C-alpha cells in the first residue's frame, strides 16, 4: 500500500509556502506608467500587433514536460505566463495559504522584505510640457484674457475708469485672437462662449462708465443680436439706462419694456426694478398718470420705499390730495425687514453672549440695517414736508395729520422731528411767535428732543438780541444733553455777547471735545482769542479751520486779518490774494488789498485794487476819496472830477465834495465851469463862507459885476460869525469857575456814555461772523484821507497865493500849496467783517 505514496523531501519541508507572494512582473499594473516599452506601444501601432502564435514551426516556446514530483522546471505558456502549479526560483508552490503573506524563508536567501516596492528606486521624472503646442498656447491666452477682465473690474471699483477701459479693450483684442486660434485647432463648437460674453459685457460697462454711450450701445447690440448668448435680452435694461442718461426717454421706455418682456415671471425682483425704472422715466417725461400706474403696481406686488416715495411725488404733481394721503400711509407701512435694537442688548451676564453681541453690534449687516433705516426716515420726512402744506387747508393742519399717522406707525420717534420741522416752517414764513410756541412744547419731552428744541430757541432769541432768553434756553439745552455741540456753541455765544471771553472759550472747547468736526465752535474760539489778543492761538484755530474748509471766505479773511494785526503785511497780502481767488468780486477785500499796498508805498498796485473795488461797488466813500486824491496827486484833476461828483451824489448834504469838484475845475483851468459850480454850491448852501470867498475871488479876477453882491453876503456872514464867537467867548468867561468844578464829574459821565455805546456795539456783533477793529476805525481812515486831500501840493494856483491869509481857518483848500504831505497811518483795520454773509451757527436749524 505504501509503494504508491511519495513523501516530500525533508530538505524542502520548510519551503512549502515560499512562492505564495511571487508573481510575474507582467501583472504589475502600477509600474505600467514608468514602462517605456509599454508607453511606446500605447502611443504607436506597435501595441496593436497580434500576439505570436504557433502556426509557424519551431516558433512556439518550448514546454519541458514536468510533473509535480521532483521537477523544478517552470512551465510557461506561449506568452510567457507561468503555468498553474509551476515551481519558480526553486521554491515549491504552497499547497494552502496557511502562512502569513510576505513572510517566507526565501527572503533569508537573498530577497529582502519590501512590500511597498521601495527597492525599485525613485520614479522617473515626469514628461515636460510642450509649451509650443497649440493647445497650450490657447490655454495660456485664455488665462490672460480672464486676468485682464478681472483687472478691469478691479480698476473700475477703485475709481480708475480710464485704466479699466484700457484693460477691457486689451481683453477684447486678445479674446478675438483666441477665437481665431481656437477655430484653426478645434471645431467651432468648442469656442468658449462664456468668455466671449464676459469680455463684451465688461467692455460695454466700461464704455458706459466713461460716458462713451455710443460705443457702449454698439457693444450691447453685438451681445443682444447674437442668438448663441442665452439671457442676453436682459442687457436691454442697461441700454435703456444709457438712453435715460442721454435724455432719450422714449427709447429708454422702449428698451425697458423689451427687457421686461424677455424676463420670465419667476424673476420677480428683476421685473419690479425694471418697472420702477419705467415709472421714473415717465415722471421725467411728465406722464404722471402712466408713472402712477407703474408705481401702484409695484406697491401692490412688492412695496418698497423708493416706489412709495415716487408714488407720492406723482400724486403731488397731479394735485390729488386724497391719493397723497393714501400713498403716504402706504409708504409708512413698508416693512423695513431689519432687527430691533433690543437684539443688540445683552439679556444676561454670559461672557460668551456678550462677546457675540459686541461682534455683531457694528458689523456690515448692522451697518446696512442702519443705512436702510436712515433712508426710510429720510423718505418719510421729505414726503411729510412735501405734502403737509397741500393736503389740508393750512400747513399746520397738514403737519398735525402727518404727525398722527407717524405716531401710529413703526416710526414713532420721527413724530418729534416733524414737530421741529413744523417750527422751522413757521420761521421761514416769518411767524416767529408760532415757531417759539411750537418749540416750547418740547420742554417736557425726553432729553434728546428737549435739547434740540431748546437749541433752536436759544438760536432764535440770540438773533433777536434777547440774550437773557437765549442764555436761559442755552442752559436748558446743555442740561438736557451735555454732549450736544450745538447747544454748547450757543451757550458760548451768549457768554461771548456778555463780554466774558474766557468763559466763552471754555464752552467752545467743550463743544470741540464732544465733536471735533464742529466748525462753528472752532471759528468762534478763534474770534474769542482775537478778542483776548492771543493772536498766535487765534491764528492756529483759523489755520486748522482752513484745513477743513479750504475755500471759506470767512476763514481766509480772518487769517489775513490776524497777520495784519501781527504786523506782517506780506502774509496778510498773500492770504487776501487767496481770498480774492475765492470771491473775486468782493469790493471790501479788494479795497483792503489796496490799503495794504498803499501802506507799503506801492501806489500802482494800490490803485489797481482800489479801482477794481470801485468798479464792483462804486458807492464806497473811502475808495472814492482815495481814487480822487490819487488822480490829484498825479496831476490828473480832470479824472478826479467824476469821483468827487459820485461822492456828492452819495452824500449830497456834504459840501466838501462839491467844493472839491469846483477846485478840480479851477486847477484844470476851466474857470467858467468852476464859477458855475461855486454858484450852484452857494444856491444850495447859502451860509457857506468858503464858497462865498472863492466866488468873490473868481468874480474879481474875471471882472464880473456880481462881485459886489457876493462881497456883501460874505461880510454879513463874517460879521454874524464874529458875533457868535463873542457870545461863546463871553459865555465861557462867565462859567469858567463852575466849569472847572464840574470838569471831573462831566468827564466821568462822558466816559460812561462812551462805554455804553461800546457795549451796545458789542451786543450787535455776532461772534459767528463779525470782528471789530482794534487799531483804527472807519472814521480814522476818513480823517486820514481828508488830511491827505488837504495836504496835496498846488502848482500855479493864482487864487491861493494872493489870498491865503484871508481864508478862514475852518476850511483849507485841498488844492492849496503845502510844503510837505503828512505820512499816512501805518496800520489800520476794517471795522467789521464783510465776508461773513452767512452765519456759521445756522446749522442749528435743520434743513
Instruction: Answer yes or no: is 666 within a domain.
Output: yes
Highest mean pLDDT among 321-325, 349-353, 445-449: 321-325
Q: Which of 586, 618, 516, 625 is nearest to 560 (CA)?
A: 586
* Structure confidence at residue 505 (pLDDT): 93
Q: What is the DSSP string of 97-123?
A: --SPTT--GGGGGT----TT-GGG-SP
CA 28 to chain centre: 74
Q: What is the mean pLDDT of residues 582-591?
A: 92
* Residue 687 covered by a domain: yes
Q: DSSP readout, 618-677?
A: TT-HHHHHHHHHHHHHTT-HHHHHHHHHHHHHH-TT-HHHHHHHHHHHHHTT-HHHHHHH
523 or 782: which leads in pLDDT: 523
Average pLDDT, the chain: 75
Does the pLDDT at position 588 exceed 50?
Answer: yes
pLDDT band at 119 (very low <50, low <70, confident <90, very high): low
Count of domains in the chain?
Answer: 1
468 or 33, greater pLDDT: 468
Closest Cα to residue 493, out of 375, 501, 737?
Answer: 501
Summarised one tens digit per residue, pLDDT across range 350-382 is 777 778 777 777 788 888 888 888 898 899 989
Exposure letters 357-390 (e unless 16+ CB within 10 A, then b) = eeeeeeeeeeeebeeeeeebeebbbebbbbbbee
Under DSSP, the state recorded for 14 is G
Q: pLDDT for 716-769, tens place per residue?
A: 888 888 888 888 877 766 655 454 444 443 333 332 222 222 222 322 233 343
Range of the domain at 696: 646-728
- Evaluate whether residue 436 is within a structural domain: no
Summarised one tens digit per residue, pLDDT across range 49-62 is 555 544 444 444 44
Q: Which range (47-51, 262-266, 406-410, 542-546) has the least confidence?
A: 47-51
Residue 558: name the closest of 835, 763, 841, 839 by CA.
835
Q: What is the pLDDT of residue 45?
A: 55
Give me the mean pLDDT over the 52-80 stretch. 44
- Cα–Cα distances (Å) from 100 to 87, 88, 279, in that order, read 20, 19, 85
Whole-number Å distance between alpha carbons of 686 and 413:
74
Q: Which helix (H) or strand (E) holds 710?
A: helix 707-734
Crossing angle between the packed helical segments 268-285 and 288-301, to the nearest 10 degrees:
160
Do residues 493 and 767 make contact, with C-beta atoms less than 8 angstroms apart?
yes
Whole-angstrom distance, CA of residue 313 vs CA of residue 352: 49
* Residue, of 773 and 347, whose pLDDT is higher: 347
Compute the CA torsion angle 462, 465, 468, 474 (nearest 10 deg).
0
Cα(305)–Cα(700) distance, rounded to whole angstroms? 92
Closest CA to 412 of 319, 527, 470, 332: 332
Beta bridge partners of 91: 88
Beta bridge partners of 76: 82
- Say if 717 falls within a structural domain: yes
| Beta-bridge mates of residue 88 | 91
Position 661 in a domain: yes
pLDDT digits (tens, 9 = 90+) for 158-211: 989 999 999 999 999 998 888 888 888 776 666 788 888 999 999 999 999 999
Secondary structure of residue 391 in the 3-state scheme: helix
Query: CATH number of the domain that 719 lies in?
Result: 1.25.40.10
Residue 432 domain flag: no
Q: What is the pLDDT of residue 766?
A: 35
Q: What pLDDT, on a 0 to 100 scale, did the predictor assign at position 342?
A: 66
In a domain, 515, yes or no: no
What sections of 265-392 are H helices per DSSP? 268-285, 288-301, 305-318, 321-332, 351-360, 364-391
With 0-12 / 13-18 / 19 or more C-beta atoms within 10 angstroms meaning exposed / middle / buried, residue 285 is middle
CB 777: neighbour CB atoms within 10 A? 16
127 pLDDT band (50/70/90 cuts)? low
Q: Is the pLDDT of residue 625 over 70?
A: yes
Q: What is the DSSP letter of 813?
A: -
What does the block give as the cell for 219? 457693444
Tens-digit pLDDT profile for residues 212-266: 999 999 999 999 888 888 778 888 999 999 999 999 999 999 999 999 988 888 8
394 burial via Cβ count (<10 Å: 0-12, 13-18, 19+) = exposed
pTM over 0.75: no
pLDDT of residue 352: 79
- Predicted pLDDT at 74: 42
Q: Mean pLDDT across the stretch 432-438?
A: 78
- Range list of β-strands (E), 69-182: none
Handedness of CA 434, 440, 442, 447 (dihedral sign): positive
Give the model confidence (pLDDT) of 756-798 as tens digits.
222 223 222 333 433 433 333 344 444 444 444 444 443 333 3
d(CA 353, CA 69): 84
Q: Is the pLDDT reported for residue 459 higher than 70?
A: yes
Mean pLDDT over 535-547 rounds to 93
- The pLDDT value recorded for residue 298 is 92
* 594 within some domain: no
* Per-residue pLDDT at 76: 44
CA distances for 784 relative to 252, 602, 639, 809, 822, angstroms:
70, 18, 22, 18, 9
Q: How far is CA 426 from CA 217, 381, 383, 431, 435, in A?
A: 51, 17, 18, 5, 5
Q: Extract the C-alpha cell encoding 131.
A: 509649451
The 10s digit of each residue's pLDDT in 664-695 is 888 888 888 888 888 888 888 887 888 888 88
Of 840, 765, 836, nearest to 554 by C-alpha is 836
Amino acid at each position: 500500500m505504501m509503494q504508491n505514496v511519495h513523501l516530500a523531501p525533508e530538505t524542502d519541508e520548510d519551503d512549502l509556502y515560499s512562492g505564495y507572494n511571487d508573481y510575474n512582473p507582467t501583472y504589475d499594473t502600477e509600474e505600467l506608467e514608468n514602462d517605456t516599452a509599454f508607453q511606446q506601444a500605447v502611443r504607436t501601432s506597435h501595441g496593436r500587433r497580434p500576439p505570436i502564435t504557433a502556426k509557424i514551426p519551431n516558433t512556439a516556446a518550448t514546454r519541458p514536460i514536468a510533473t509535480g514530483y521532483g521537477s523544478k522546471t517552470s512551465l510557461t505558456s506561449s506568452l510567457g505566463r507561468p503555468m498553474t502549479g509551476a515551481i519558480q526560483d526553486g521554491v515549491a508552490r504552497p499547497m494552502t495559504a496557511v502562512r502569513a503573506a510576505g513572510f517566507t524563508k526565501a527572503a533569508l536567501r537573498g530577497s529582502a522584505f519590501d512590500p511597498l516596492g521601495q527597492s525599485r528606486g525613485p520614479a522617473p521624472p515626469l514628461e515636460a510640457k510642450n509649451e509650443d503646442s497649440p493647445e497650450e498656447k490657447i490655454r495660456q491666452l485664455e488665462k490672460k484674457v480672464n486676468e485682464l477682465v478681472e483687472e478691469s473690474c478691479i480698476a473700475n471699483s477703485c475709481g480708475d475708469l480710464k485704466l479699466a477701459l484700457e484693460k477691457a479693450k486689451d481683453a477684447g483684442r486678445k479674446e478675438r485672437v483666441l477665437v481665431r486660434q481656437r477655430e484653426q485647432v478645434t471645431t467651432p463648437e468648442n469656442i468658449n462662449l462664456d468668455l466671449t460674453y464676459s469680455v463684451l459685457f465688461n467692455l460695454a460697462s466700461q464704455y458706459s462708465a466713461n460716458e462713451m454711450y455710443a460705443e457702449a450701445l454698439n457693444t450691447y447690440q453685438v451681445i443682444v443680436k447674437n442668438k448663441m448668448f442665452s439671457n442676453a435680452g436682459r442687457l436691454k435694461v442697461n441700454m435703456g439706462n444709457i438712453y435715460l442718461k442721454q435724455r432719450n426717454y422714449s427709447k429708454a421706455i422702449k428698451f425697458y419694456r423689451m427687457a421686461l418682456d424677455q424676463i420670465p415671471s419667476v424673476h420677480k425682483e428683476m421685473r419690479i426694478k425694471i418697472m420702477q425704472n419705467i415709472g421714473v422715466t415717465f415722471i421725467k417725461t411728465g406722464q404722471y398718470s402712466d408713472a402712477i400706474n407703474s408705481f401702484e403696481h409695484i406697491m401692490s406686488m412688492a412695496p418698497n420705499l423708493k416706489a412709495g416715495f415716487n408714488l407720492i411725488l406723482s400724486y403731488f404733481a397731479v394735485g390729488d390730495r386724497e391719493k397723497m394721503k393714501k400713498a403716504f400711509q402706504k409708504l409708512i407701512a413698508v416693512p423695513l425687514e431689519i432687527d430691533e435694537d433690543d437684539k443688540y442688548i445683552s439679556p444676561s451676564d454670559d461672557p460668551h453672549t456678550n462677546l457675540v453681541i459686541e461682534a455683531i453690534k457694528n458689523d456690515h449687516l448692522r451697518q446696512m440695517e442702519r443705512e436702510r433705516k436712515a433712508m426710510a426716515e429720510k423718505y418719510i420726512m421729505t414726503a411729510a414736508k412735501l405734502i403737509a402744506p397741500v393736503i389740508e387747508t393750512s400747513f399746520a393742519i397738514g403737519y398735525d395729520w402727518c404727525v398722527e399717522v407717524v405716531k401710529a406707525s413703526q416710526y414713532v420717534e420721527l413724530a418729534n422731528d416733524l414737530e421741529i420741522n413744523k417750527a422751522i416752517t413757521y420761521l421761514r414764513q416769518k411767524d416767529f411767535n408760532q415757531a417759539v410756541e411750537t418749540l416750547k412744547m418740547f420742554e417736557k419731552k425726553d432729553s434728546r428732543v428737549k435739547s434740540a428744541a431748546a437749541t433752536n430757541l436759544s438760536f432764535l432769541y440770540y438773533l433777536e438780541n434777547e440774550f437773557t432768553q437765549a442764555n436761559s434756553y442755552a442752559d436748558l439745552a446743555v442740561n438736557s444733553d451735555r454732549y450736544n455741540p450745538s447747544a454748547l456753541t450757543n451757550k458760548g455765544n451768549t457768554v461771548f455777547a456778555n463780554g466774558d471771553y474766557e468763559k466763552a472759550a471754555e464752552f467752545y472747547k467743550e463743544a470741540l471735545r464732544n465733536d471735533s468736526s464742529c466748525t462753528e465752535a472752532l471759528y468762534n474760539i478763534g474770534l474769542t482769542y482775537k478778542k483776548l489778543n492771543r493772536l498766535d492761538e487765534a491764528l492756529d484755530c483759523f489755520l486748522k479751520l482752513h484745513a477743513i474748509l479750504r475755500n471759506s471766505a470767512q476763514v481766509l479773511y480772518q487769517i489775513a486779518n490776524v497777520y495784519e494785526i501781527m504786523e506782517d503785511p506780506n502774509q496778510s497780502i498773500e492770504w487776501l490774494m487767496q481770498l480774492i481767488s475765492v470771491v473775486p468780486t468782493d469790493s471790501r477785500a479788494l479795497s483792503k488789498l489796496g490799503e495794504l499796498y498803499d501802506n507799503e508805498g506801492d501806489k500802482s498796485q494800490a490803485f489797481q485794487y482800489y479801482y477794481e473795488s470801485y468798479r464792483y461797488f462804486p458807492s464806497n466813500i473811502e475808495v472814492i476819496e482815495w481814487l480822487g486824491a490819487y488822480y490829484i496827486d498825479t496831476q490828473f484833476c480832470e479824472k478826479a472830477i467824476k469821483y468827487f461828483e459820485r461822492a456828492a451824489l452819495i452824500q449830497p448834504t456834504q459840501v466838501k465834495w462839491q467844493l472839491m469838484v469846483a477846485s478840480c475845475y479851477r486847477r484844470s483851468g476851466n474857470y467858467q465851469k468852476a464859477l458855475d459850480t461855486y454858484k450852484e454850491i452857494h444856491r444850495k448852501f447859502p451860509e457857506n463862507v468858503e464858497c462865498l470867498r472863492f466866488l468873490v475871488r473868481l468874480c474879481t479876477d474875471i471882472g464880473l459885476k456880481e462881485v459886489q453882491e457876493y462881497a456883501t453876503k460874505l461880510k454879513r456872514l463874517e460879521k454874524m460869525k464874529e458875533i457868535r464867537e463873542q457870545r461863546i467867548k463871553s459865555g465861557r468867561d462867565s462859567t469858567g469857575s463852575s466849569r472847572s468844578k464840574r470838569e471831573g464829574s462831566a468827564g466821568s459821565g462822558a466816559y460812561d456814555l462812551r462805554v455804553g455805546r461800546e457795549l451796545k456795539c458789542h451786543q450787535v456783533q455776532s461772534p459767528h461772523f463779525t470782528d471789530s477793529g482794534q487799531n483804527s476805525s472807519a472814521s480814522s481812515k476818513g480823517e486820514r484821507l481828508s488830511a491827505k486831500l488837504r495836504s496835496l501840493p498846488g502848482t500855479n494856483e493864482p487864487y491861493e497865493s494872493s489870498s491865503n491869509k484871508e481864508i478862514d481857518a475852518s476850511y483849507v483848500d485841498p488844492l492849496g500849496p503845502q510844503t510837505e504831505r503828512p505820512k499816512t497811518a501805518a496800520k489800520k483795520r476794517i471795522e467789521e467783517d464783510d465776508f461773513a454773509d452767512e452765519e456759521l451757527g445756522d446749522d442749528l436749524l435743520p434743513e
